[in-house]
A and B are shown apart, each in its own frame.
Chain A
Amino acid sequence: MKETTNSPQENPEIEYNTLRIFEEGRNYKTTFTKKFQGRKAWARPNPEEIKTFIPGSVQKISVKAGQDVKAGDELIVFEAMKMHNIIRAPFAGKITGIPVKVGDRLPRGALMLTIKPAK
């Protein structure tokens, strides 16, 4: 009689990954989900960069590079979802760059303006 084993076999057709939960802990042989593999590392947000929060287009630029602004001043009118959204200065400072122009269509998370806080 041929001897059979009851211990489960790993499927040779599957590509396994290793997941470690604690530094000193065990390694787990496993497979990853697509979503986990495609994840982005967290990056500390830079308050000096003003980015789009929604896809849309630049309707109007109300400031110039080098200009000093107060908190709440209108910087850009950004058209998105049929609305003229007013982008305002989050704090008092100097505009250090405006890498966009009127009419630009921008995706979400695109850089619109940089501002350096006043001392």
Chain B
Amino acid sequence: MVNLGTKIKELKERQEKAILGGGEKAIAKQIAMGKLPVRDRINVLLDEGSFHEYDLFIAHDAREFGMDGKELPGDGVVIGTGTIHGRSVAIYAQDFTVAGGSLGSMHARKIVKMMDYALRMRIPLIGINDSGGARIQEGVNSLAGYGEIFFRNTLASGVIPQISVILGPCAGGAVYSPALTDYVFVVENISKMFITGPEVIKSVLGEEISMEELGGARVHSEITGNAHFYALTEQECFRQIKTLLSYIPWNNDKQSFLIIEEKQPQKKYNIEKIVPVDPTKPYDVRDIIRAVVDGSEFFEVQEKWAANIVTGYGRMGGRTVGFVANQPLVMAGVLDCDSSDKAARFIRFCDAFNIPIVTMEDMPGYLPGVDQEHAGVIRHGAKVLYAYSEATVPRITIILRKAYGGGYIAMNSRHLRADFVFAWPTAEIAVMGPEGAANIIFRKEITEAPDPEAMRKQKVQEYKDKFSNPYVAAAKGYIDSVIEPKDTRKFILHAIDVSKDKHVGRPGKKHGIPPF
């Protein structure tokens, strides 16, 4: 006799079989590589017990090349919803134990279902990538699947946060979904991303390189800039994702979480002792950020790539603030192709998701060099100007020390519509450094003087006295206040408060054309 009990028993049997994925042996192989089984990954990342899985019984529909009789549990991907910090998120995770996590048309349809859901419900989308690539037996249907994913990544961009976690191979066309999302997380020894692998490179160009050297976690977080966060283990990676989600809002209509409990910056970051008055001396600009944010907690984005500019999140008065800061500790804090790309992208994320931007400026200018010019530093540098000019979130600039030339304009100057520009008394706002400027302006006087070196020194000093200070810019109203370093937090807090209902108009258009 059929009763509910037997029906439930059948369901459970089917569930157990599907959840086993590619089988215990395949799972053990993954664990031996330092990887967690697919559902463990989801359960560790989400709030405990919050995961609800969908489409567990999906069956692939390939008929060719002997695929007819094959069973691929869940078609190699797990999808569902759950919560992080008590708020809903949509997630998909590829399962390498099932046909190498390869993407067939039903696999893609599951991913796309979650993407549509995330966009409709205005909740963040998290994608865990662990796949050998397209399912070759499914031909163009597999490619169609990728295309559907990429299109939705683009539609959702700027509406909901999209996070990609690379926990295995992600090669060929598959890399473009992470590339279209907002934040990419990688893990040492586990993440591998490239368009063409070492085999192809060797056969075509004769260059020998390992997978790790070509597209490992370190390469993408230090050299290519494709990744934003680097971790040594999957557990550390999941903690980073949760931290990121504590700073950013759930969609573009919302504000970030407000933390009520107000924390003061730690006493050990003494803002008056960090920046050397001598502009040739380096220091770590992150200490300035730590000296002004709540609890001195600063969460850095793309820490190792283009480290001559610092980007990341902190809170001020409980609200999330995005920081962009020149880093004198690395390459003198110059702007170059990579640091321009890094800053521009971060600014656009903050603007899309209602996060005020604080810019800390201390930079000698753009990096000179044939390689930079030929790499298109004009086009890359223009991205910073574009991103700042376009941003309508509250924008505040603190000029700490050097603000020279094009860099002064680019780093959220008054002229690009910064809401507030403050300068420390140590600020030097000029077209270029005093040495270079004196050599050009007083070339004749210097060369014709009986003692050219003495004359040069005198003229450099003259220029320094006149222009290497914040008061020329202050006299024009280009900066709003010259402030004491110790008042920096107070001024930023007030500026953010004043601009919390900021409203500015922009000419109507379909979209602008940023210098991609």
Q: Which residues of A does B touch, CB under 8 Å?
A: 20-23, 41-42, 44, 53-55, 79-86, 108
Contacts and interface: CB of A to CB of B under 8 A. Distances in A.
B279 interface: yes
B331 A54 contact: yes
Contacts of B213: 44
Nearest to B402: A82
A59 to B, nearest CB: 9
A41 B213 CA distance: 14
Contacts of B282: 83-86
A84 B280 CA distance: 5
Given A82-B332, A84-B282, A85-B332, 12 more contacts: A21-B200, A21-B204, A22-B203, A42-B207, A44-B209, A53-B331, A54-B367, A81-B331, A81-B333, A82-B280, A83-B328, A85-B282
Nearest to A20: B204
Interface string B367-390: 111010000000000000000000
Contact of B332 (A22, A42, A83): A83
Report whether over half of chain A's contact residues are helix, strand or loop; otherwise say mixed. loop
A42 B201 CA distance: 11
Given A54-B334, A83-B333, A41 B207 contact: yes
Given A42-B207, A54-B332, A86-B282, A81 B200 contact: no
17 contacts: A22-B203, A23-B204, A41-B207, A44-B209, A54-B331, A54-B367, A81-B364, A81-B367, A82-B332, A82-B364, A83-B280, A83-B333, A84-B280, A84-B282, A85-B282, A86-B282, A108-B371
A22 B201 CA distance: 9
B7 interface: no
Nearest to B202: A23
Interface string B201-223: 00111010100010000000000
Contacts of B371: 108
Interface of B: 200, 203-205, 207, 209, 213, 279-282, 328, 331-334, 364-365, 367-369, 371, 402, 433, 435
Contacts of B333: 81, 83
Nearest to A107: B369
B215 to A, nearest CB: 13
B429 to A, nearest CB: 15
Contact of A22 (B204, B334, B364, B368): B204
Contacts of A86: 282
Given A21-B204, A22-B204, A79 B367 contact: no
A83 B207 contact: no
B369 A108 contact: yes
Nearest to A55: B369
A-B pairs with lowest CB-CB distance, top 8: A23-B203, A83-B332, A81-B332, A81-B364, A82-B364, A84-B280, A54-B331, A82-B433
A23 to B, nearest CB: 4
Contact of A81 (B203, B209, B281, B334): B334
Nearest to B214: A42
Contacts of B203: 22-23
Contacts of A79: 280
B453 to A, nearest CB: 16
B205 A80 contact: no
Contacts of A85: 282, 331-332
Contacts of B367: 54, 81
Contacts of A55: 368-369
Nearest to A86: B282
B284 to A, nearest CB: 12
| Max chain B C-beta neighbours (<10 A), residue from A20, A53, A81, A108 | A81
Contacts of A23: 203-204
Contacts of B200: 21-22
B60 to A, nearest CB: 27
Contact of B365 (A21, A42, A53, A81): A81
Contacts of A84: 280-282
